[in-house]
Chains A and B, each alone.
Chain A
Amino acid sequence: MKYARVGAVVAAAAIVVAACGGATGGAKPLKIGISLPLSGSSLASAGPADKGARLAIKDFTLPGYTITADVKDHAVNGVHDPQQGAKDMTAFAADPAIVGVVGPFNSSVAKVQIPISNEAGLLQCSPANTNPDLTKGDAGKQLRAKQPDKINYVRVATTDDIQGPAVAQYGFNKLGLKKVAIIDDTETYGKGIADAFAAEWTKLGGQVVGREGAPKGTTDYTAILTKFKDAAPDAVFYGGVTATGGGLVRKQMPQVGLDKIAYLGGDGIQDGPGSVEGSFINIAGAAAANSFSSVAAIAEYPGKADFDAKYKAAYNEEAGAYSASGYACAQILLQAIKTAASKGDVTRESVRAAGVDTNTTFETVLGPVKFDAVGDTNQKIISLYKTDLTAASGKGDWVFDSQVDYK
């Protein structure tokens, strides 16, 4: 009797040990954080990046590890909120399974997130940040101040100090416009790109015949446009996004008699076809014709058709402007994890080091990407788009025009 009982206990213990042993021999769970504004008016622009990133994570396998996405939405009331972004990044930093983060979308959020991820040594890749101060110069250094030798932030989009001038060159050289009036939305991105555009425009020999700042919440641009009309501009440049007025300005231009002239903008107004609620084409309607914008990323790359097909199969919708960028960022993180795994243990530090290594060329859907010493991509391509109101079954869409390589 006694022996039987002892035997039963030993057997049970053996089974438990075997089960535990089996468990530790199984896959190690890793997580990639995704920090993007995914509700309200931000969803149209950032949603595709999120979907792209998740697609890459889903498609990836690494023996010995299971990698999942942990998505945190930092939009409050439909708008990206830096404080929420900071909280989300702190939460990611506190979670030991997180070894990398894709995001954010807006530069103002990146400014509060980078100090946190830098201190945590957490690799962070943004698909869409374009503000140069996030990486370059003293401003960039300030963000990395806690661990200045261990940069952790990289991005696949190029910067506004290239994007703004690219639009200027397109407008001046290709479209032959000479006089431009500029409106910016007084926010970080809008003012930054408008300043870069204006500087380049003057350098090319063009004239800036008017410049006004109209904070978000402005609904009436007729007064500003009437004032511009006096100076007879060939085009109006809008520095900002659709939500802060990009669409409204264009919509009101016919009312003032300025509908014939061109409209230029950055990636802030390139937010999808007219069928998407709240997008530039949707708001501007018929007035959206003769409008031009840019995206701080490559548009025509080998493999685009395949990617678009894969994306559509997965999500039953067309890929957005930043879908491929989101996918690429995730690919970079995953490749860094793979490199770290091949060298030994996957830790935040090993992933970070692999991700920011300036000697590594990452094979991404956008093509080969290398990062410089401060985390900027070597792929300095700006893609230019124009509106075509007959596209997307009559609803209107942005169609690719050309891309310029600024390396």
Chain B
Amino acid sequence: MTALPATNDAGRPSVPAGRVVRLLVLLAILGGIAWLAVKNMGAEQATEQLFNALTRGAIYALIALGYTMVYGIIELINFAHGDMFMVGAFVSLTFLGQILGLEGAVTNIPLLIALLAATFLVTMAILALVGVTIERYAYKPLRNAPRLAPLITAIGVSFILQNLVQLVYGPYQTNSPKIFPDTWVIQVGSATVPVLSLFIIGVAVVLMIGLQLFIGRTRLGRAMRSTAADRDAAALMGVNINRTIAITFLIGSALAGAAGVVNGLQYGVARFDDGFQAGLKAFTAAVLGGIGNTVGAALGGFIIGFIEVGATAMGYTRWGPAIVFGVLVIVLVFRPAGLLGQQLGERA
């Protein structure tokens, strides 16, 4: 949820000066890194790596949104969320590959647009359904149980999803039709940027803006915000808590599904264990940006993308995962609220 502004002791909303300052510092750091990058790699490389980072970050951002929404509303880290992303990748590859029988790039633009729209719709709808079902049968009964129980259930659901997919598709990588042609590129200066990258970044941005509008301007969005802020008060105000939570899962899972489609378009493969690492990194992104804060989750996703690509650019690819998880630990220990979040209380 978009964080409510902090209030000072007099109850008046205080000017979020701290947040603005932090954002400026962040931008300054990013600017400095960009300058260093161009100096070391040359503008062409730097631009291309920039788009690589944005593309990767877009995928993490989409997954992170789901994590942050669910955590904001029921304070549960949904371990199975990363696997929802994986399921989304498999749904889209089944739809495109097995149902529609496609194999390669589709160059007919109207057809391509229609196919993409259909894939997104179908995948997001199925994932939404799966997400709501899981919430209803595995998490809802444990809403009032001690914290450990739903966490462990989530781990169990993660195992189940992974292994069901493994049973059906096998443990090897499965091909996902790359219907978006790789050959479409545009030139940004001397750099070559694939149109696919721009498409993915665009999809992520559009979905995020859509989400912000939904949360900020619609009734359901208001219901979600109020449930996140104070569940009992919201219930007293007539909000249907069960439905609100279900809708949160619906949206979060659909976004993970979108991430899965986009992943399939970009990489062309999916495997049953893709969800674990991607999920953990996306969770890092959500935490980095401020858990419960959707803008923060998106921001965090892009930052993680930059960290990974940056590690490669400096020659540390094999340390990449360790660096990301290190960021996770450092943020949680020193600043659990993340970049854009409120200062959370420390006890359960």
Contact = CB atoms under 8 A, between A and B. Distances in A.
Q: In their complex, do chains A and B touch, with some C-beta pair under 8 Å? A: yes
Interface of A: 39-41, 44, 77-79, 186, 212-215, 217-220, 222-224, 226-227, 229-230, 242-243, 247-248, 251-252, 254-257, 277-278, 282-283, 285-286
Nearest to B276: A217
A75 to B, nearest CB: 9
Contacts of A214: 317-318
Contacts of A212: 312, 315, 317-318
A113 B263 CA distance: 40
Nearest to B319: A213
B269 A283 contact: yes
B172 A255 contact: no
Which of B53, B182, B194 has the most chain A CB within a 10 Å cutoff?
B182
Contact of B52 (A41, A222, A257): A222
Contact of A283 (B48, B175, B194, B273): B175
B-side binding surface: helix, strand, loop or mixed?
helix
B174 interface: yes
Contacts of A219: 263, 267, 269, 274, 278
Contact of A40 (B171, B196, B266, B315): B171
- CB-based closest 7 A-B pairs: A278-B172, A78-B171, A213-B318, A40-B171, A223-B312, A41-B172, A223-B309
A329 to B, nearest CB: 25
- Interface range on chain B (Cβ under 8 Å from partner): 35 or more
A103 B192 CA distance: 48
B191 to A, nearest CB: 10
A397 B10 CA distance: 75
Contact of B48 (A218, A220, A226, A247): A226
Contacts, number: 104
A106 to B, nearest CB: 16
A330 B172 CA distance: 29
A243 B172 CA distance: 7
B267 to A, nearest CB: 6
A39 B166 CA distance: 12
B268 interface: yes
Contacts of B41: 227, 230
Given A213-B318, A215-B321, A247 B52 contact: no
Interface string B172-197: 11110000001100000000101010
Given A223-B53, A223-B313, A248 B269 contact: yes
Given A213-B317, A223-B312, A251-B269, A286 B104 contact: yes
Contact of A248 (B171, B173, B313): B173
